Amino acid sequence: MAYPLLTATICAAALLSASVFAADASQPAAASAPNAAAASAPRISVTVVGQGPDVVLIPGLASSRAVWADLAAQLKATHRLHLVQLAGFAGQPAVADGGDTVAAPAAEAIADYIQRNGLQAPVVIGHSLGGETALMLGARHPARVGRLIIVDALPFSSLRFNIDATPEQVTPSATAFRNTLLSATPQQYQAMQTGGMAQLVKSPAARPALLAAVLQSDRKTVADGMFEIMTVDLRPELKHITAPVDVVYAWDAAYGIAAERADALYQRAYAGTPNLTLKRIDDAFHFVMFDQPQAFSQTVIDWVNTPVPKSLAAQP
């Protein structure tokens, strides 16, 4: 079952419009030079601000850590924030010979960062691909996180196109989509992203910076990340997460489906997740933090400040 504009939220991760699922798209050649892969480029870079309990924030595909600016401004007075930037996105150098996955190695890098820096049961917040990275982190390293807050992300993104999708079914389409990203012209890519951005964020003021981050991202990294989130199904791993999992997701009448159907999608996708909370924010698209900043920040801050029961607390 394909949802008209709702399908654009998975394309937000790939940064393509749902109406051109099979169309060409590419990164401008001019953006390739500053993002060329470097052998020494780390999987992540981290900016630390504030003092207090630790919070790790992970942006989505082809996004920068700046997507958290409003939330960070409110949290940094009471929390120590670790603002992650993923390699290959928004001007960050890509990883040379980094394989064909993005989220999985990023999750391992963040797990290592948490351990090396002695973070104690941090809250981990992730948007889009960053949300799937957070789920991987929580499922594969449950003792290293205290709470997961997932922003407009599913454990298997292709469910947005078909609630009964399987990785095997979507692999041909994902492969074609990835190849399209790698082979298209700069002009096609830029035109696509400029038009598609209106489907991903309602706020016109937010679009220029988001588009700039896309155009500064490494094309192969974007293509690899797109393929990964379309084909990796994390639902079997959700049972391994011991921390509370809070999921906030957007809905808008322009999606063309009833809000209750969006609710059902998230409920079914996250079925079997221990300690799960779901919350919908209306009148917003994929970048809910820009479309409903007050409701979004209040929701996240409330979760951040909610004590984790001792029985669920991460153990060193």
pLDDT digit string, tens, across residues 16-34: 333 333 233 323 332 333 3
Q: What is the pLDDT of residue 23?
A: 31
Nearest to 218 by CA among 84, 85, 314, 67: 85
How many Å apart are CA 228 and CA 81, to the nearest integer? 27
Burial of 205 (0-12, 13-18, 19+ CB in 10 A): exposed
The model's pLDDT over 106-133, given as tens digits with 9 standing for 90+, comes to 999 999 999 999 999 999 999 999 999 9
Displacement of CA 219 from its chain's centroid (Å): 17
> By three-state DSSP, how is residue 65 classified?
helix
Q: What element of type H or E holds 279? A: strand 276-282
Token pair listed for 130: 């960053």
Q: What is the pLDDT of residue 314?
A: 60
Q: What is the pLDDT of residue 7?
A: 46
| H-helix segments, the chain | 8-14, 69-75, 103-116, 129-140, 167-183, 186-200, 207-215, 219-231, 259-269, 288-291, 293-304
Q: What is the pLDDT of residue 19?
A: 30
The model's pLDDT over 197-238, given as tens digits with 9 standing for 90+, comes to 899 999 999 999 999 999 999 989 999 999 999 999 999 999
Please report, rounded to a whole number, the percentage of residues in the chain having pLDDT higher than 90. Answer: 76
> By three-state DSSP, how is residue 31 classified?
helix
Strand partners, 278: 247
Domains and CATH numbers, the chain: 8-306 (3.40.50.1820)
Using 50 as the pLDDT threshold, list the residues of the chain that sit under it.
1-40
How many Å apart are CA 39 and CA 222, to the nearest integer? 18
Token pair listed for 232: 């990796």
How many Å apart are CA 35 and CA 293, to the nearest integer? 30
Angle between helices 167-183 and 219-231 (to 10 degrees): 170
Q: What is the pLDDT of residue 253?
A: 96
How many Å apart are CA 277 and CA 303, to the nearest integer? 10
